[in-house]
Amino acid sequence: MSEHTARRGGAAWALMITSVAGFMAALDNLVVTTALPSIREDLGGALHDLEWTVSAYTLTFAVLLMTGAALGDRFGRRQLFIAGLAVFTGASAAAAMAPGIDSLIAARAVQGAGAAVMMPLTLTLLTAAVPAAKRGMAYGIWGAVNGLAVASGPLVGGTLTEHISWQWIFWLNVPLGLALLPLARLRLAESHGTGAPLDIPGTLLASGGLFGIVYGLVRGPADGWTGGLVLMGLFAGSALLVAFVLYSTRAKTPMLPMRLFRSRAFAGINAASLLMFLGMFGSIFLLSQYMQGVLGYSPTEAGLRMLPWTGMPMLVAPVAGVLADRVGGRPVVAAGLFLQALGLGYMATVATADASYVAQLPALIISGVGMALFFAPASHLVMSSVRPSEQGIASGANNALREVGGALGIAVMASIFAAQGGYETGQTFVDGMRPALVTGSAVVALAGVAALLIPTRRRTERQTGATEPAPVLQTTAH
């Protein structure tokens, strides 16, 4: 790497730019949920229209993640990151100015597409800029910021909606995006993957398969699991993903080489990530409603009371990253997942229609520490489980599985909740939430078991050579 490129691609700048960009993309997963009543009052629309303001973003984000990573590897990660950031920022402004519910849904879909290009490239750009010995700490800070964004979405959305207007949940992205665009151009170094041609058949099969499955999972709780479009999405999506796997085992330059999954490290951390997001997203979805609808807190009050959980990554995740550098990511990730499972199980036992905050606090703290211990080392494990030239697609695949896990978590938790309880009274809500939280706890514990199957750090490094310094990437300065 030349001196100019090293200066331009300084680790501190890369960490700041990629963390803020990741925060923006992750925040918009759940930021709309607490603003839906205000959006309906302003723009109208039926219940299914409001649901699509959330689902449109989730769909395009999950479906295009691997495609965005592949495009970055082929045409330049910095270049595609800037393009995705520009699309995301412009779509955020369009959402804020939307004159009707249909235009808001369309803007959200475009937002998701921009985030899908931008998000997986944040990790590869960060990896290229940070020396191998310091990546654990960098991933820790990156993971803390992204974990905070995922968990604090309802708080940010509720606070802005309650005290200003719902449009500001989208306007918030615009100054951040406009500030990051020139910084990314000036301060990030360009890097590429293997230089292989874009895998068009693989891209179409993966995108179509993910679209069908995520569509079915998103629409299942609202439309019914036996609905024609839901069943068609699930079955057709599954068939396309099977075809994608079969095709990728035979293709010369596949979008996602199936041989990666022969690595216990890659397979283990991806299984753990999917299960972690399944349990976490579904739990946050129900607990935010529990605090507002049952305990009577306002959106801002509920968000503040969840800070021992949602804010913990900012305190613990950087420490977790340093710890992972010293002892390896596997024990830290596994400990975090088991603590998260313990916290969810504890919450299920103390949740009542009139539970005091003091009774809930230990569960929130335990869950927060667990989530913080997971995020940073998990990112490190993903990036170190493959060769440097394959880190872009590895990041895209891991992010896609996380999104599918999140959509599946909300669908599963909502189905269990509806079968065991409902919204009629506070007690019926608790009756439905408790078994859902127990299920979430069991799923996250299973993620901890998957993490324990990951080989030790030294064995993984010998197999992949993935912790070699970033200059192994094809780096150029412009």
Residue 354's CB is within 10 A of a number of other CB atoms, namely 10
The residues, any chain, with a CB within 8 Å of residue 230's CB and separated by 6 or more, are: 215, 216, 219, 220, 223, 224
- Categorise residue 409: left if φ over 0, alpha if ψ from -120 to 50, beta otherwise: alpha
| Cα separation values, 127 from 75, 142, 380, Å | 18, 11, 9
Rounded distance between C-alpha atoms, residue 459 and residue 241, angstroms? 30
pLDDT at 378: 79
Read off the pLDDT of residues 172-222 as tens digits, 9 standing for 90 and up. Answer: 889 989 998 998 888 877 776 666 666 788 878 888 887 888 778 777 766
Rounded distance between C-alpha atoms, residue 464 and residue 40, angstroms? 51
Read off the pLDDT of residues 281-310 as tens digits, 9 standing for 90 and up. Answer: 778 778 877 887 788 887 677 777 877 877
| Cα separation values, 31 from 57, 95, 149, 318, 439, Å | 11, 13, 9, 24, 25
The amino acid present at 79, given as its one-letter code, is: Q
Q: How far does CA 164 lie from the centroid of its chain?
A: 27
pLDDT at 347: 92
Contact 44, 15 (CB under 8 A): no
pLDDT at 465: 47
Angle at 122 between CA 121 and CA 124, to 5 degrees: 60
Contact 440, 409 (CB under 8 A): yes
Rounded distance between C-alpha atoms, residue 377 and residue 269, angstroms? 10
pLDDT at 478: 32
Split the chain (478 residues) into runs of 10 and give each run's mean pLDDT.
Answer: 46 83 78 72 67 76 76 80 92 90 89 86 78 70 71 72 81 89 83 68 82 77 78 90 87 76 83 88 78 78 76 71 74 90 93 89 89 78 74 72 76 80 84 91 93 70 42 32
Contact 117, 302 (CB under 8 A): no
Contact 126, 138 (CB under 8 A): yes
Rounded distance between C-alpha atoms, residue 49 and residue 30, angstroms? 16
Read off the pLDDT of residues 15-35 as tens digits, 9 standing for 90 and up. Answer: 888 888 888 887 777 677 667
Q: Of 121, 58, 62, 57, which is closest to residue 92 (Cα–Cα)?
A: 57
State the DSSP string of 301-314: HHHHHTHHHHTHHH
